[in-house]
Amino acid sequence: MKKKSDFTSSFHPHTTIHPLVRDLYKRVLLVGRDYPAGIEVVRRKAKEQFFANGSLSTETEIKKAVARGRWYVRNEIVGVIQLRKYRQLKSRYYD
């Protein structure tokens, strides 16, 4: 497991973050609140992926990565959360 300082060591305080990337990160954290494994797991995985794609420099590459991230949020994370909520309702009323 990586330490907290591993993620922040490569971060330069004067580095600007592309607005689309910042918006995607906020979406991930917003949706990740209801994730079954918890927000900490979502935050750690999101940071790993964002730092892995930190070397993208052209506008086209950034937009493709953001589109892939939005797809992941919309389809994968939301799907897992809906399944969890469905199972919770089912266990309350039918089991």
What total number of domains does the chain contain?
A: 1
56-86: per-residue pLDDT in tens?
889 999 999 999 999 988 888 888 888 888 9
First vs last C-alpha separation in the chain: 38
Q: What pLDDT score was predicted for residue 25?
A: 93
Residue indicated by tokens 């266990």? 91
Confirm whether 66 is domain-assigned.
yes
Q: What pLDDT score was predicted for residue 8?
A: 46
Counting runs of H as helices and runs of E as strands, what totals does the chain give?
Answer: 5, 0
Assess contact for 62 and 56: CB atoms under 8 A: yes
Amino acid present at 52? A
- The pLDDT of 33-41, averaged and rounded, is 86
* Domain assignment of residue 50, given as a range: 17-93
